[in-house]
């Protein structure tokens, strides 16, 4: 059985999913705390400059993994994430 490599993404201790400050932009894209994304990239050996050039794949993975973890730990559903699960927005 193949393993889900997304599940091995290291998340920073002392932070919550809400610390990402996920929000919708005027052009229907999303925005989040890129400083926290940079920290997660560093923790996982990812080149943040490359991620900034094409954030979609890494940010999507990060959001998916952290949100699943958030819910599994008893966190409340996030309205933005629930909406994103049904559509594919542009990521800033």
- pTM across the whole model: 0.81
For the cut 50, the answer to whether the pLDDT of residue 5 exceeds it is no
Between 73 and 8, where is the model more confident?
Answer: 73
Structure tokens at 86: 């049904």
Question: How open is the CA angle 10-73-61, to the nearest 5 degrees?
Answer: 40
Q: Give per-residue pLDDT as tens, 32-90.
A: 999 999 999 999 999 999 999 999 899 999 999 999 999 999 999 999 999 888 875 45
Whole-number Cα distances in Å, 62 to 33, 49, 80: 12, 16, 15
For the cut 50, the answer to whether the pLDDT of residue 2 exceeds it is no
């Amino acid at each position: 059985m193949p393993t889900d490599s997304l599940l091995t993404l290291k998340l920073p201790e002392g932070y919550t999913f809400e610390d990402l400050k996920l929000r919708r932009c005027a052009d229907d894209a999303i925005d989040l705390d890129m400083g926290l994304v940079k920290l997660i990239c560093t923790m996982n050996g990812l080149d943040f400059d490359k991620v900034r050039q094409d954030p979609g794949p890494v940010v999507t993975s990060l959001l998916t993994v952290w949100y699943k973890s958030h819910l599994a730990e008893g966190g409340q559903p996030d309205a933005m994430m629930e909406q994103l699960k049904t559509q594919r927005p542009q990521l800033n």
